[in-house]
Chain A
Amino acid sequence: MSAALAIYAIARADFLERVRRYSFLVTLFFAVSLGYATAKGKILLQLDEYRGVYTSGWIGTLVALTTACFVSLIGFYVVKNSVERDRSTGVGQILAATPLAKSTYAFGKLLSNFAVLSSMVGVLALAALAMQFLVAEDPRVDLWALLAPFLLMALPVMALTAAIALFLRWCPCCAVAWEMSFGFSDGRSELPFPRSPGFAGWIPSQFSR
């Protein structure tokens, strides 16, 4: 019970801290712009000269695909510093002096990362709904057809992004490989410090020297 509460508390605090920052608003603005560009036909999915009719299913798929491709990349930058922030703010030192288990901390951060990315997906899902009215090729709204691509495609991609962002904080080799492949890791990832049991043994070096 207390572990579940701690996971929830970590995720909630981290989520609130991030979504109240200007950088999150900027990212959200980008997500909405993406939805708008899709609605205006600037981002198209077509086979030769054929394109899909803008039904709920097609619009949902189109925007969910765009979300999975772009928001996961931009979102990675938004969520990758959750552990770093605990170090830079000094909150990590306080956490290190509590009985918090490393698995609890990691789950909390993972949940927070996922919640932040999901909120962007949520905004784009709403944008997709608005887009169907805007384009008005098919006035019938099928909510499940519209939302299913987000639930089945975009959200799993966000979960993966959330996990990768967290994992890279403790795996410098992976960070370097990621940087070589995709070029957007800062390469300053931290190693776990397994010298002490519990959370303090796992947190970055500034906490546990």
Chain B
Amino acid sequence: MQLVVENVSKTYRGNVQALRNFALELRPGVLGLLGPNGAGKSTLMRILATITRPTAGRVLWNATDIARDPDALRNVLGYLPQDFGVYPNLSAIEFLEYLAAVKGLGAAAARKRISELLELVNLTEVARRPLGGYSGGMRQRVGIAQALLNDPQLLIVDEPTAGLDPEERVRFRNLLSELSGERIVILSTHIVSDVEAVATDIALIVHGQLVAHGAPEALLAAVNGRVWEVVVSSAELPALRHKHLVSNTAHRSDGVHARVVADSAPRNGARPLEPSLEDAYLRALAAHRAAAARSGAAA
């Protein structure tokens, strides 16, 4: 089982470039695709889900070009789009029966699978209620259930935790962890904690380009010894932010405890900290933006 993204680019009308020479190779596990809003994550997800065609490059599923033979992938694909929608007047069971038939499941197999999935996503008790009355979190769970109907080998979930409350978010992460194993899961998000919890592999995308790709440990290693805590007054904080990358702040009785990502101690008394994935993410983002600004200035 292998998914290869070969130098994929996508340009929309008006010469808007959403992806640039994006290359990636995936095997079973959970890939966390991290990037700020507008980075090109959803475009990449749509290309991988065979909805959009790349302008250049290709995507290979087990050595088959999905632009030439999309059904090779669609038969084993589960996709939860960012703006997942439902028919509000259908119940969860009716909606899932509909999508099961569309995905090619027989009636008996579909009934059994739907029952299992409703149990998995904890919706059995409300399964006969109209979807229009579901909360955002319940709808997302219907979304993940529909994505799993055909027991997919490739599961793509695009910003799945947007709009969920903290408890639902944790439940969703746990569910994704349970679902990994012998399948490729791609979790696209801008929320670092979601990725931190479940990803076995992380890809960082900024302005349509792959900025970093590797195991979480490798990304963390890049900021090892570069994260500091300094205590400043509220008045000093803007200057600190201006000079350094501040990844977090917390107001305490002795001042503002700022978490700073810097190659060397930002000031006397700075205390070294264990790096987090968020530190690594913000540093990579800042480095990419600085490089882009330099190349823009040079041009």
B residues in contact with A197, CB < 8 Å: 70
Query: Within 8 Å of chain B (Cβ to Cβ): is A98?
Result: yes
A93 near B51: Cβ-Cβ < 8 Å: yes
Tell me which residues across on chain B come within 8 A of A100, comparing CB atoms: 102
The A-contacting residues of B in range 82-135, CB under 8 angstroms, are 83-90, 94-95, 97-104, 106-107, 130
The answer to whether B169 has its CB under 8 Å from any CB of chain A is no
Complex contact B74–A97 (CB within 8 A): yes
Q: In the assembled complex, which residues on chain B have CB atoms less than 8 Å from the CB atom of A2?
A: 101, 104, 106
Contact A93 B81 (CB under 8 A): yes
Complex: A67 Cα to B264 Cα, angstroms = 82
Verify B51–A13 contact, CB threshold 8 A.
no
Majority SS at the chain A contact face: helix
Is A148 engaged at the interface, CB distance under 8 Å to the other chain?
no
Cβ contact within 8 Å between A195 and B53: yes
- The proximity string for B residues 234-253 relative to A, scoring 1 for CB distances below 8 Å and 0 otherwise, is 00000000000000000000
Does A94 count as interface, using CB distance less than 8 angstroms? yes
Does B75 count as interface, using CB distance less than 8 angstroms? yes
Closest-by-CB residue of A relative to B12 is A209
Which residues of chain A are within 8 angstroms of B146 by Cβ–Cβ distance? Answer: 94
Q: Is A9 an interface residue (CB 8 A)?
A: yes
CA distance A5 to B130 in the complex (A): 23
Q: Which residues of A contact B75 (CB under 8 A)?
A: 99
Query: Is B84 in contact with A20, judged by CB distance below 8 angstroms?
Result: no
Q: How many residues of A contact B (CB 8 A)?
A: 34
Near B by CB (< 8 A), chain A positions 156-209 give: 195-198, 200, 207-209
CB distance from B94 to the nearest CB of A (A): 6
Task: Known A99-B104, A200-B50; judge A13-B74 contact (CB<8 A).
Answer: no
Residues of B within 8 A of A209 (CB): 12, 52
Q: Is A52 an interface residue (CB 8 A)?
A: no
CA distance A17 to B49 in the complex (A): 26
From A87, which residue of chain B is reached at the shortest CB distance?
B85
Contact assessment for A208 and B52 in the assembled complex, using a CB-CB cutoff below 8 Å: yes
Cβ–Cβ < 8 Å partners of A91 in chain B: 85-87
Chain A 77-105, CB-CB to B under 8 Å as 1, else 0, gives 00000000100111101111111100000
A140 in the interface (beta carbon within 8 A): no
Question: Chain B residues near A42 (CB, 8 Å)?
Answer: none
Flag if A13 contacts B71 (CB, 8 Å): no
Tell me whether A97 and B79 are in contact (CB under 8 A).
yes
A8 within 8 Å of B (CB atoms): yes
Given contacts A90-B84, A96-B51, A207-B51, contact A10 B102 (CB under 8 A): yes
Interface size on B, residues (CB 8 A): 37
Whether A20 touches B89, Cβ cut-off 8 Å, given contacts A96-B51, A97-B49, A208-B52, is yes
Most buried by B among A93, A94, A96: A94
- Chain A CB within 8 A of B77 CB: yes
B67 at the interface (CB under 8 A from A): yes
Given A90-B84, A99-B104: A198 and B71 interface contact (C-beta under 8 Å): yes
B98 contacts A13, C-beta separation under 8 Å = yes
Task: Give 1 or 0 for each of A1-33: 1 = CB within 8 Å of chain B CB.
Answer: 110011011101100110011000000000000
- Other-chain contact of A16, B77, B83, B85, B94 (Cβ < 8 Å): B94
Chain B residues whose C-beta falls within 8 Å of the C-beta of A20 in the assembled complex = 89, 130
User: Does A98 contact B102, Cβ atoms closer than 8 Å?
Assistant: yes
A6 near B104 (CB under 8 angstroms)? yes
One of B83, B90, B100, B103 near A90 (C-beta < 8 A): B83
Which residues on A sit within 8 Å (CB–CB) of B74?
97-99, 198
CB distance A196 to B53 under 8 Å? yes
B87–A13 CB distance below 8 A: yes
Task: Report Cα–Cα, A5/B110, bound state, in Å.
Answer: 12
Q: A-contacting residues of B (Cβ < 8 Å)?
A: 12, 46, 49-53, 67, 70-71, 74-75, 77, 79, 81, 83-90, 94-95, 97-104, 106-107, 130, 146
15 additional A-B pairs beyond A88-B85, A90-B83, A200-B70, beta carbons within 8 Å, are A9-B97, A9-B102, A12-B98, A16-B89, A16-B90, A85-B87, A90-B84, A91-B87, A96-B51, A97-B50, A100-B102, A198-B70, A198-B71, A207-B51, A209-B12
Closest 10 CB pairs of A and B: A90-B85, A9-B101, A89-B85, A13-B98, A20-B89, A97-B79, A17-B87, A97-B49, A93-B81, A99-B74
A sample of 30 cross-chain residue pairs with beta-carbon separation below 8 angstroms, ordered by A number, consists of A2-B104, A6-B101, A9-B98, A9-B100, A10-B98, A13-B87, A16-B87, A16-B89, A16-B90, A16-B94, A17-B87, A20-B89, A20-B130, A85-B87, A88-B85, A89-B86, A90-B84, A90-B85, A91-B87, A93-B85, A95-B102, A96-B50, A96-B51, A97-B77, A98-B74, A98-B102, A99-B74, A195-B53, A200-B50, A207-B51
